[in-house]
A and B are shown apart, each in its own frame.
Chain A
Amino acid sequence: MKITQHASADTLSLLLDGELDASSSVLLDGELTKPETLQYQKVLINCQKLNYISSAGLGVFISHLQQFQDAGVKLVFFNMQEKVHNVFEILGLDTLMTIVPSESEATAI
């Protein structure tokens, strides 16, 4: 798993590249746990190169979502591959998290 960050004034974008499992999710958790993450209005997760997600990866997002909402930070996923989106769907997480098709739609939120 490789995570590439891009930050602008109010938005933190994370490009996830690889597979998010019980081994690699520790890295993502470390990124989202940084206190400065809560200073942004939006955290955009670009999933174009995310090839796989397990419950450990989902758990990282589940565990941070409430804290983000309390701090007024919107967590938005975009460019999600169908097989990764399907894992969110199996649990019903697609209705609890904000997932949009494209970067332009993510930016417009």
Chain B
Amino acid sequence: MKNALRISCSRGNLKVVRDFVADSLLNYHLSPLQLNQIVLAVDEIVANIIIHANGEDESQHLDLAIDVNEQAFGIEIFDNAANLYKPSSYHEPDLPEFIRQGKKGGVGMALVNRIMDRVEFTTQGTQNVCRLYKSLVQQPQQ
């Protein structure tokens, strides 16, 4: 099953994105925790692309394409920002230090990396592409 969505680069559209992702997973019988985690990971990436790569320029847009089946959830997020959003300087956050510093940001990518099985940032011509992948197959209990 494939689904597509185009939104303008406004953080007000994050709810639209979350509903889009949740709707795409409705028929796959995920637990509420699994569903929330996938929605959260997409929300985090889209928020970063809207805010950091596109500076909340509402004349710009993002295209999202979901490919989901019983085995896996995948999403591609396309944007045209001059700067590819790629957290290459990513470090695992030191939360006690973040608390000491009163730091407001910096934990979103940790959530994404811990939830998703694969996270890729690439360019395709003039477009930036982020791909997220998550297996939906339950691992047997050890």
Q: Residues of A at under 8 Å CB distance from B?
A: 19, 21-23, 29, 52, 54-56, 58-60, 62-67, 82-83, 86-87, 90-93, 96
Contact = CB atoms under 8 A, between A and B. Distances in A.
26 contacts: A21-B11, A23-B11, A29-B104, A52-B18, A52-B36, A54-B108, A54-B111, A55-B44, A55-B111, A56-B47, A56-B108, A59-B103, A60-B104, A62-B102, A62-B104, A63-B103, A64-B102, A65-B99, A65-B102, A66-B100, A82-B33, A83-B36, A90-B111, A91-B93, A92-B95, A93-B95
A108 to B, nearest CB: 24
A95 to B, nearest CB: 9
B111 A91 contact: yes
Interface of B: 11-12, 14-15, 18, 32-33, 36-37, 39-40, 43-44, 47, 50-51, 93, 95-96, 98-108, 110-111, 114-115
B14 A22 contact: yes
A54 to B, nearest CB: 5
Contacts of B33: 82-83, 86
Contacts of A22: 11, 14, 43, 47, 50-51
